[in-house]
Every structure is written in structure tokens, then in C-alpha cells.
Structure 1
Amino acid sequence: MTAGRTRPDVVAFDVNETLLDIAPVGAALTEQGSSADQLPAVFSRALLTGFAGAAVGAWFPFRAAFEASVAQVTGLPSDACSRVADAFMELSPHPDVEPAFRRLTDAGVRIVTLSHGSPGVAEAGLTRGGLTALVERTLTSESIRAWKPGREAYLWAAGVCGVAPEQMAMVAAHSWDVLGAGRAGLTTGFTSGRSEQVFAEVYDPPHVQGSSLVEVVEALLALPPA
């Protein structure tokens, strides 16, 4: 799976679920009169809404898709849906994020985040986890009105970082994100144990994978130098 792949100069990380625990959004659903148990359905529907829009050439931001999905799944009024969406600013990193970041930093590999989510979410979570200094930049494809897994999002990120696609790796807890990055020419890493227990076997497999971000990072660093 790693044939022809070399150690990346830049590693981009997905944000929601991959880096940041979205449990506070579930708590917000409960506070607004729904249930935290609805969170997986709401989050999945938000992604479906965005993917469907992208497929037909429409664009709207993640927050709009998420609020619409809260309403669809729970029936909550619009003001409550907005308050649930506000909880994305309260997320914190998973425990394996800091050691993975520090391993990359020690190895001289640059770190960025790449989301199609709302601006400010990654920054707030990284600040809460004390990780801001380890991240070179936070990117959201809202800047180019695109949704991952469209290849333009990954190519744009590589361009912003000044590297060729093959010099960048994308690490995510979502199989669809890994698929999109791989099709754009990036090296890919998948971490299991978040919302997906195994990688979707119908997709092109990731170049590396592991049960934690640390395992994924170690596998990327074990690739031969360019």
C-alpha cells in the first residue's frame, strides 16, 4: 500500500472527530430538549447534505448543513438548532492528538488542519488543548467554497502549503476523507476507533492506518525519505 510513497513534508489533519471530540455537541442536543443519542444521525446527515449539494454544484457552509440536519432529525426549532451548532466552539482534542503532534514536530514535519467546517472551530479546539503552537496553519475549504472529499479541497491545501500533493499526507477518521485525499494524490492515513471502527473496504485503502493518531504518525514517519 505504501509503494512509491515517501515521508511527507506536511501532514494535514481533519478536525471534527479526527482531532476534536464532538461530545459537547451531543450535550447541547440534550440541553435543547433532544438527546445526545441523536448526534451520530445528525452529524451523518449534515455530511450527506453537504455531499449532495456538492454533487449537484450547489454550495453552502457546513454550519448551514448542520443546522438543517438538526432540524430534520430532531424537529427542534431554528433557534435551538443554532445553539446546538454553537457547541462546535466548545470542542477539545482527543488524548492522542498532543503526542502525535509532538512526534511530528520533533521529526521536523509541518502540521496543518484541513476541514470543510466552520472557521474558528479548529482554532478554538487547538487553543483549548494548548496545541496552537504546534500547528502551522488552520485551513477550511469554505475559503474556496468547496467540500471535502472533492479533490480541489486537497489540491488547494497543498498549494497553500507550497508543496506538491505527493509531499502532503492527509490523516482522518473518516474513510470518505481518506478516499478523496488519495484520489487527489496525497499520502493517506486512517485512524480507527472514532466514529468508524474499520476502514470502508469499498474504497481505495489508506496508505497507512492505526488505532490511534500516534500509530498513524509513526507509520508516516517510517516511510522512506524523498
Structure 2
Amino acid sequence: MTPTRPRVVALDVNETLLDLAPVRAGLVEHGLAPDLLSTVFARTLLTGFAAATAGTWCRFRDAFDAALAQLTDLSAADRGRLADTFLELGPHPDVEPALRRLREAGVRVVTLSHGSPGVAEAGLERGGISPLVERTLSSEVIRAWKPAREVYLWAAGICDVEPARMALVAAHGWDVHGAIRAGLTGAWFPRAERTYPAVYDPAAIVAEDLGGAVDALLALPAA
């Protein structure tokens, strides 16, 4: 089916919108290598995905704590302080103009994360762009992790829009793949990943950056 211009655009939060630099700085403050962040973040996702696949569930914060416990010798208190740094995240420089472009075009904007509630709100507020976002959604509400199909369908239901008229923009191929499988329009751009994985369903849009993804969505034909 040919994708059409979305009425609602949902954006992933961690890495896609918000810069994880404060978490990296926290690792350094505890004497750890800055490049450990990518491994810790990947292990956090692995922990959450594995729990969900096995039929159980855990919070993002708990998965992050488990990843740190597996990869470092940090105390529980220090791991907790590192988890708190997610509330210090701020948006990447390209986020504000991209969100403003969507809003000026009459497209509703939401965030969709399986991260801890409050993280998206704090980051958007820090960047002064909260007014550009209609609502922030965390799948902790339904005890699920992306890329489970139910998360995207839940988000579409909350926004009162058909899945086909909702798009998901993310810098993670697995997230875009999940959205596509749920009937949303998927748009991917590189942030931490170099290419969109060929093993996934093709994304409707593969752009060079966030601005390009937004422009491509707005250029889709109206239904």
C-alpha cells in the first residue's frame, strides 16, 4: 500500500530526539570509559526485549540498572544516580526545527518511548520545545516494550487516528520495523546506526537526517 501523508507523527525519544551525552558524562564521572555507553544502552534494550519476548516485563530503569550491574562494578547507589541522568537529557540541535516544520504543516506531533515516564517531558522542557509536542507516550503504561505491535496500535488509539495515518520516526531500525509491522508509516534516519537493516521490512522513508525524514513525510500524497 502506498503511504500517505500522516496526520500524526510519533517520534522515538532516546537518541532519536534526546542526546544521551549526560549519561555518557555520568559514566566518565564514575571512572568508566565514555564509549561504554553504547554497550550499556544496547544491553539495556536486550534486557527489556528478552523479558518481553519471554512473556514478562520490566521497567526501562530496571533494565538499565541490570545492564550496569552486568557490565560494571558500580554500587546500587551509583547505578541509581546514573539512571537519574536520563532526566538531564536535552534535544539534539536538529529537533526543534523538525518539530516546528511538522506543526506549521498542521501535523500533530507526539513522542513514543518505552523509556521511563518523565524523561521525554524533562528533555523537551529543557530544550524549550514542549509546546511543539501534543503529548508524550510511554509504553510503561501498558507494560510493553517497542517493537511490540501492541505499542504502536496503542499509540494510534490514544491519538484517535488510524495506524495508516500515523508515522513513526526513529533512528533505530528495529523501532521502525515494529511500526511498519503494526501498519504505521516508518521513517528512519541515521543517528547511532549507519544503515537501515536489510533484514527488516523496508522503511517508507530512509533519510539522511531528521529534517530530511520530516520533509519526506510531508511530501507524501494526501489520502
| Residue of structure 1 equivalent to 2:94 | 96
State the AA in 1 paired with 2:25. A
TM-align CA RMSD: 0.8
| Residue of structure 2 equivalent to 1:140 | 138
| Residue of structure 2 equivalent to 1:205 | 202
Shift of 1:9: 0.1
Tell me if structure 2 keeps the 8 A contact 1:32–1:84.
Answer: no
Aligned residue among 14, 17, 20 for 2:15: 17
| Residue of structure 2 equivalent to 1:62 | 60
Unaligned runs of 5+ in 1: none
| Residue of structure 2 equivalent to 1:175 | 173
Shift of 1:33: 2.6
TM-score scaled to structure 2, two decimals?
0.98
Tell me if structure 2 keeps the 8 A contact 1:20–1:94.
Answer: yes
Q: What SS is found at the alignment partner of 1:162?
A: coil
Is 1:77 the counterpart of 2:91 in the alignment? no
| Residue of structure 2 equivalent to 1:129 | 127
| Residue of structure 1 equivalent to 2:150 | 152
Q: What SS is found at the alignment partner of 1:220?
A: helix
| Residue of structure 1 equivalent to 2:215 | 218
Unaligned runs of 5+ in 2: none
| Residue of structure 1 equivalent to 2:161 | 163
After superposition, what is the alpha-carbon deviation per residue over 1:158-204, rounded to whole angstroms, capped at 9, x for unaligned?
A: 00000010010000000000000000000010011x11011111111
Q: What SS is found at the alignment partner of 2:156?
A: helix
State the AA in 1 paired with 2:70. Q
Identity of aligned residues (%): 62
Alpha-carbon distance in 2 for matches of 1:65, 1:16: 14
